[in-house]
Amino acid sequence: MDWGEEAARRLTKIAETASLPGPGVTRLPFTEEHRVAIGIITGWMEAAGLAVQMDAAGTLVGRREGPAGSKTLLIGSHQDSVPGGGAYDGIMGVALGCLALEAVKDRPLNVAVEVLAFADEEGVRFPTALMGPRVLAGTFDDGTLAMQDRDGVTLRDALAGFGGEPDALAQMKRRAEEIAGYLELHIEQGPVLEREDAALGLVTGICGIERLELRFTGSTGHAGTVPMEGRQDALVAAAGFVAEVPGMAREWDGLRATVGMLKVSPGAPNAIPDAVSLVLEVRSERDAERGAAVAEMGKRAAEIAERAGCGFEMAQTYQQPAVLCDPALSDVLARAGQGDLPTLPSGATHDASAMADLCPIAMLFVRCRDGVSHRPDEFASAADMGAAVDVLARALIAFDPA
């Protein structure tokens, strides 16, 4: 079998089941598209000889038993996409994991292996993410079950309606001593490997992320009658801050800062804005620098608000620390890659970041055309995916945690 061509065929087929409203793939957790995906991925897992079940968090798990008393090696990624996303982000890692196990179906391994298709990595439907891996690592906060999607459906109800068990999540923590590690294959989502003319790369670590809600408050009034002098326009203050974000981010080496959401109140063309809430997201491989940057950005936002005669508040809504991939587990992939894999950090986050609280992690990136991701034209070639399956299959055969 040409594993790369088979990966391309499978990924095209599953993308077609989540192509509405289009363009691109839209597969949010605990939806009809997710249910269809579960059916298709079950087929991939069964073709690899795995025993399949869905766990209480909605993660589809395919397991191959190992020698008596052996540890379990986990391989995973996510099934969900962003709205209008591509056919590779997340789901490719699940497909390639299944194909690598299919390739070694008749070979003895030193470990049990599980392929995990996590429900929600993107954090698009609910204002949280990574429930599946967090539950396994014992870091899931039950309070998040009360979070609602834009239609007012709670995460608890969405999970229960999908056949998950919200009340069982607290008991799902895996015993670290039984887990040999977690491997994730993922499309790079950036331009580095393409520039280096390399099909595959080894990930050194995953950036830390912080999200903050900034609220600028002013005073509303009639847009036609309130004179320009003395206005307290919250959007003028917020816009002044947003315009400064790129320059401020560049003060820290490699730091990325983005304002991707803005809510204007009252939100009428003929009313002066009296409140603006925005979400500032800051990413860095170095947590201390991220913290310093956030503190400085908050200080400057307060100054900008004061100059505009506005009030200002800032609150952190999310944070995850930067994590490093495990050198020994990464070396298993490096050897299987026959020693010539370039290394690179990940500026996107992954299920692996939460799995790092449970066990050693390692990640293999697959080259991405033009560096684009979270877009319908995201693409990885069959040849590159085939190379990734070969590396993972060789790593599985060689891996011995003893």
Which residue type is seen at 288? A
Q: Among 4, 183, 186, which Cα is nearest to 86's?
A: 186
21-58 burial, b if ≥16 CB within 10 A, otherwise e?
eeebbbbbbbbebbeebbebbbebbebbebebebbbbb
> What number of chain residues touch ligand GLV (CB under 6 A)?
3
SS (H, E, C) 279-298: EEEEEECCHHHHHHHHHHHH
Q: Does 348 bind ligand GLV (CB under 6 A)?
A: yes
Asked if 259 touches ligand GLV (CB under 6 A), the answer is no
Comparing CB distances to Mn ion, the nearer of 10 and 64 is 10
Site size for Mn ion (CB under 5 A): 2
- In sequence order, what DSSP letters do the residues of 206-245 get, joined into one string? E-EEEEEEEEEE----BTTTS-STT---HHHHHHHHHHHH
The minimum distance between CB 349 and ligand GLV, in angstroms, equals 4
Buried b (16+ CB within 10 A) or exposed e, 110-135: bbbbbbbbbbbbbbbbbbbbbbbbbb
Binds Mn ion (CB under 5 A): choice among 24, 76, 86, 90? 90
Q: Which is nearer to ligand GLV, 78 or 231 (CB)?
A: 78
Q: State which residue, 90 or 133, has the beta carbon closest to Mn ion.
A: 90
The residue type of 233 is: D
Name the residue nearer to ligand GLV (CB basis): 90 or 386.
90
90 binds, among ligand GLV, Mn ion, none (CB under 5 to 8 A by kind): Mn ion
Does 349 bind ligand GLV (CB under 6 A)? Our answer is: yes
Contact pattern for Mn ion over residues 47 through 86, marking x by CB under 5 A: ----------------------------------------
CB of 125 to ligand GLV, least distance (A): 13
Residue 26 as a binder of ligand GLV (CB under 6 A): the answer is: no
Among 55, 89, 210, 233, binds Mn ion (CB under 5 A): 89
Residue 190 interface partner, choices Mn ion, ligand GLV, none, CB cut-off 5-8 Å depending on type: none
Burial of 105 (0-12, 13-18, 19+ CB in 10 A): exposed
Bridge partners, 76 (sequence order): 116
- Helix axes 3-16 and 32-47, enclosed angle (nearest 10): 160
Q: How far is the CB of 289 from Mn ion (least distance, A)?
A: 24
- Binding partner of 349, given Mn ion, ligand GLV, none, CB within 5-8 angstroms per partner class: ligand GLV
**Nearer to Mn ion among residue 114 and residue 351 (C-beta):** 351
Query: Which of ligand GLV, Mn ion, none interacts with 92 (beta carbon under 5 to 8 A by kind)?
Result: none
CB 74 within 8 A of CB 360: no
Which residues are near ligand GLV by CB under 6 A? 122, 348-349
Which residues are near Mn ion by CB under 5 A? 89-90
